[in-house]
Amino acid sequence: MPKKKKSPGPTSRLVFPQDEQKHDWLSLLLEGYFITDQGVAKGIELMEKQGAKLACTKGCSHCCATHRSIPAYPLELIGVTWYCTEKLEEPFRTPLLTQLMEHKHGDACAFLIDGVCSIHPLRPMACRQFNVFNKPCEIDEDAYYTRRKDVMNPIKKYTNKAFSVMMPFYGVTDRAQKRHVVENGLMHNMAKDMQNLNWASLARKMMEFDAQIPKN
């Protein structure tokens, strides 16, 4: 019998055991991201089977400066807030504080520090699913509009499953209700545009957290 090919993508999800005990929502979010990442890996595999070559690489970040809107759902924003406040360390923490205080609409993403995503483990689904093939995006190029065929289509089965896993955070626990909400895209009206949010309040929260840490 032929060996079944191992599916691509992460085989285990990111864990924060103590924090997950404190915050019920965190496990839902991390599980949703795990499923999202599996879907992304599968999508990349399918594109590559058709001869396309993934252009996204570590250090490539024009997309984070080009996108005029970056949708994120309430649970994701809570995850970003928690991660920045309680987990983010140097060399990102200090420059991020300054950047969050100064961020305004039209700037690059508030979380892009020296060409690196400072919240990479907790970046939203929209960022995880945006993958471009064949050649890296030019500065100011949004490949979704300039060459749609080079942009990966997220696989609906994985996206829906990821949303479904996160639904209890929004009070939707019944299986049929979850399916109704997800399949009809009812959660999309909850998305906020990260480019339009006032991130100074997050910077203040981070500073309050830092002020509580005892100094040696």
Binding region for ligand SF4 (CB under 6 A): 55-56, 60, 62-64, 70, 109, 111-112, 117, 119, 123, 127, 130, 132, 136-137, 143
Beta bridge partners of 112: 117
Shortest distance in whole angstroms from residue 33 CB to ligand SF4 = 13
- Dihedral in degrees, nearest 10, Cα atoms 146, 148, 149, 154: 150
Shortest distance in whole angstroms from residue 214 CB to ligand SF4 = 31
Q: Which is nearer to ligand SF4, 65 or 186 (CB)?
A: 65
Q: Which amino acid is present at 19?
A: D
Q: Which is nearer to ligand SF4, 70 or 172 (CB)?
A: 70
Q: Which amino acid is present at 88?
A: L
Q: Which is nearer to ligand SF4, 111 or 178 (CB)?
A: 111
Cα-based distances in Å from 119 to 34, 93, 153: 16, 10, 23
Beta bridge partners of 54: 133
Shortest distance in whole angstroms from residue 146 CB to ligand SF4 = 11
Shortest distance in whole angstroms from residue 20 CB to ligand SF4 = 22
Gap between the Cα atoms of 16 and 141, Å rounded: 36
Q: Which is nearer to ligand SF4, 116 or 186 (CB)?
A: 116
Helix or strand (DSSP H, E) at 203 = helix 200-212
Q: Is the peptide bond before 91 cis (omega within 30 degrees of 0)?
A: yes
List the one residue out of 30, 37, 38, 36 whose CA is nearest residue 14: 30
Concatenated DSSP letters of 92-132: THHHHHHHHHH--TTSSPTTEETTEETTGGG--HHHHH--B
Shortest distance in whole angstroms from residue 70 CB to ligand SF4 = 5
Shortest distance in whole angstroms from residue 134 CB to ligand SF4 = 9
Q: Which is nearer to ligand SF4, 124 or 172 (CB)?
A: 124
Q: Which is nearer to ligand SF4, 110 or 187 (CB)?
A: 110
